[in-house]
Amino acid sequence: MPKPLESRSSSHASRRHFLKTSSLLVAGGAVAGQLNIARAAHSYGSDTIKIGLIGCGGRGTGAAAQAMNTKGEVKLIAVGDAFEDNVKSCLRGLSGQYGPKLDVPPERQFWGLDNFQKVLETDLDLVILATPPGFRPQHFEAAVKAGKHVFMEKPVAVDAAGVRRVLAANDEARSKGLAVAVGLQRRHEPQYIETIQRLQDGAIGDILLTRAYWNGGGVWVRPRQPQQTEMEYQMRNWYYFNWLCGDHIVEQHIHNLDVINWLKNAYPVSAQGQGGREVRRGKDHGQIYDHFFIEYTYADGSKMFSQCRHIPNTWSSVSEFAHGTKGTSNISASQINGLDGKSIWRFGRGGAGGHQQEHHDLFAKLRAGETPNEGDYGALSTMTAILGRMAAYSGQMIGWDDALKSELVISPTDQYTGFNDTPPVVPDGNGGYPIPVPGVAKVV
């Protein structure tokens, strides 16, 4: 199985090896466009870095603020979202603290499903992609084609076809000398970095078992409004529809799964598991499950046990653990214990704040003339989460290669132009949506 990317030089070979060993052929042939020598070689230094934002919800607004918090001149020059009210709310929220760094006149404020194209036509250097993840492959491809550096939120797709698109576009980004950052912020937190390094150096011996959790009470529901079309309703409630969200195992739990992949320096070869809807039974809960339990297997035979749950008044934990021949680690608490349970090492206070640190790191590297690329591990950890969803939805043991080669497209975002379009899932006569049934659901 492939290894996570350690450097830009080694990552290209690893990527090619991955495609070969997975029996996956990404269509495309020659890279579109010419090598952007000027952009690849340019160090921004003290120059102003002009950014655009596509996706003006809470996470997008937060990411734009974090970009403007970085050292050096940064200006937000264009914003776009499917909804006008999101655009206006985003700019209002940023104007108080970041007013001097905002240069977004009405002619660079865009809404509608084509907003991303209009943002990318402006004279920006870097674009933040923070829409619902079903749109990420389409928007990432367009950003790379336009020659923009990219910060994109996780996950980067909701189906295997989308993952393949992102991997192919990331190859093009690398050839153009474009930076690609992915919002898996734990990889930028000193407490995680040092803990993972110590574990990889053998602090608990051979790692036999890992555990990953995102258990909590759930997220918002936005009631249907009388004037809404079905498309608008689903996009306002994007978390509950797989073509937009991918289910919470993909949208949230990817963080914890990525930590284990990082630790293992590998990706699972198979998964089996289960899940369902225990409390999420209403029409306003769309399609997604409220709990998952997945057993992942890696090539070395080790297991990862994964739980994620959205059920109020239950045990909550967002964490990762490792068990080895010489000890154990609470990775999320940055602590390592011996087999006797006594502490061997702990990081101590501080070392978190990854949402901000990932932007500090990205912008500092751009100013130094470097073009970091996190696209491959962002895509492959996304695929890890999708693999788990496939296993739970189907009730079958699913192999990595079969999952990644799946031609089942659940998010055909390229075909949509407006809110009068019909989304890929629609309610039945009783207002309910199709729910995956293990033993019946087709996932590959």
Residue pair 136/358 in contact by the 8 Å Cβ criterion: no
Whole-number Å distance between alpha carbons of 88 and 80: 10
The gap between the terminal CA atoms of the chain, to the nearest Å, is: 20
Give me the mean pLDDT over the 232-247 stretch: 98
Helix ranges, 308-423 (H)? 354-367, 375-394, 400-404
Residue 372: predicted pLDDT: 98
Give me the mean pLDDT over the 244-264 stretch: 98
**pLDDT above 70 for 246:** yes
- The angle at the Cα of 224, spanning 218 to 225, to the nearest 5 degrees, equals 145
Residue pair 139/116 in contact by the 8 Å Cβ criterion: yes
**pLDDT above 60 for 435:** yes
The per-residue pLDDT for range 282-324, each reduced to its tens digit, is 889 999 999 999 999 999 999 999 999 999 999 999 999 999 9
| CA atoms within 13 A of residue 70's CA, in its CB half-sphere | 30
> Confidence class of residue 113 from pLDDT cuts 50, 70 and 90?
very high
Helix ranges, 83-159 (H)? 84-98, 115-120, 136-145
Residue 330: predicted pLDDT: 98
Residue 20: predicted pLDDT: 42
Q: Is the peptide bond before 438 cis (omega within 30 degrees of 0)?
A: no
Which pair of tokens denotes residue 353? 């704040």
Nearest one of 363, 372, 369 to 69, comparing CA atoms? 363
Distances (CA, A) of 234 to 155, 286, 295: 19, 8, 31
Fold of 8-25+40-186+356-373: Rossmann fold (3.40.50)
Q: Extract long-range pairs of 401-404: CB within 8 Å, 24+ residues apart.
A: 401/22, 401/23, 401/24, 402/444, 403/160, 403/443, 403/444, 404/22, 404/24, 404/160, 404/163, 404/164
Give me the mean pLDDT over the 66-88 stretch: 98
Strands of 109-111's sheet in order across: 109-111, 74-81, 49-54, 126-129, 149-152, 180-182
**pLDDT above 50 for 72:** yes
> Which tops the pLDDT comparison, 378 or 8?
378
Whole-number Å distance between alpha carbons of 250 and 44: 35
Whole-number Å distance between alpha carbons of 408 and 263: 30
**pLDDT above 60 for 14:** no
The per-residue pLDDT for range 355-396, each reduced to its tens digit, is 999 999 999 999 999 999 999 999 999 999 999 999 999 999
Do 8-25+40-186+356-373 and 189-353+384-415 fold alike per CATH?
no
Whole-number Å distance between alpha carbons of 246 and 159: 7
Query: What stretches of 82-206 adopt beta strand conformation (E)?
Result: 109-111, 126-129, 149-152, 180-182
Give me the percent of the chain exceeding a pLDDT of 70: 91
257 CB neighbour count, 10 Å cutoff? 31
Gyration radius of the chain's alpha carbons: 21
Which pair of tokens denotes residue 168? 């192919």
**pLDDT above 70 for 7:** no
Whole-number Å distance between alpha carbons of 169 and 328: 39
Q: Is the pTM of this model over 0.85?
A: yes
Residue 42: predicted pLDDT: 77
- Sorted by where each begins, the domain ranges of the chain are 8-25+40-186+356-373, 189-353+384-415
Nearest one of 59, 56, 47, 33 to 148, comparing CA atoms? 33
Whole-number Å distance between alpha carbons of 85 and 297: 45
The per-residue pLDDT for range 153-182, each reduced to its tens digit, is 999 999 999 999 999 999 999 999 999 999
Residue 6: predicted pLDDT: 37
At 46, is the secondary structure helix, strand, or coil? coil
Whole-number Å distance between alpha carbons of 82 and 116: 9
**pLDDT above 80 for 208:** yes
When mean pLDDT is compared across 27-36, 219-228, 240-249, 404-413, the lowest value belongs to: 27-36
Q: Would you state the CATH architecture of domain 189-353+384-415? A: 2-Layer Sandwich (3.30)
φ, ψ (nearest 5 deg) of residue 433: -115, 155
CA 408 to chain centre: 20
Amino acid found at 405: K
**pLDDT above 90 for 83:** yes
Whole-number Å distance between alpha carbons of 216 and 228: 30
Nearest one of 137, 145, 197 to 375, comparing CA atoms? 137
The per-residue pLDDT for range 140-155, each reduced to its tens digit, is 999 999 999 999 999 9
Residue pair 338/344 in contact by the 8 Å Cβ criterion: yes
Q: What is the mean pLDDT of the chain?
A: 92
**pLDDT above 80 for 1:** no
**pLDDT above 70 for 31:** no
Residue pair 425/434 in contact by the 8 Å Cβ criterion: yes
